[in-house]
Amino acid sequence: GESGKSTVLKQMRIIHNSGFSQEESMTKRNVVCANTVQAMGALVEGMRSLRIDFSNRLCNAHEKMIRETLSENTEYNPFTDEMFTALTDLWADKGVQSAYEKRELFYLHDSAK
């Protein structure tokens, strides 16, 4: 499952070889972007199922951006400044942190943090 074997192998490759090609680096970056947006989407869903509210009202608009990005399947695109701000604000929100602490009550991928 999610034991991190492929991550260790990739890190070994970076340390002992020349690392990744530019194309591989872009692909990996896009996967990291997608995983981050998907994890935040799962956290927000978890918040809703647990009836936890945002502490920062701006996060309601950020949640909408995350949901739209996921519904449009554009989470593999590199982060815009707006997406970076949304993710940063959401992660700092006390409601999101509360949901993260209760993550055993809903599905959240092991690498979400």
In this structure, what is the dihedral angle of CA atoms 102, 48, 52, 40, given to the nearest 10 degrees?
60
111 is in an annotated binding site: yes
5 is in an annotated binding site: yes
7 is in an annotated binding site: yes
DSSP output for the chain: --S-HHHHHHHHHHHHS----HHHHHHHHHHHHHHHHHHHHHHHHHHHHTTPPPSSTHHHHHHHHHHHHHHTT-TTSPPPHHHHHHHHHHHH-HHHHHHHHTGGGS---TT--
89 is in an annotated binding site: no
Binding positions:
2-7, 110-111
Binding positions for Mg(2+):
6
Binding positions for GTP:
2-7, 110-111
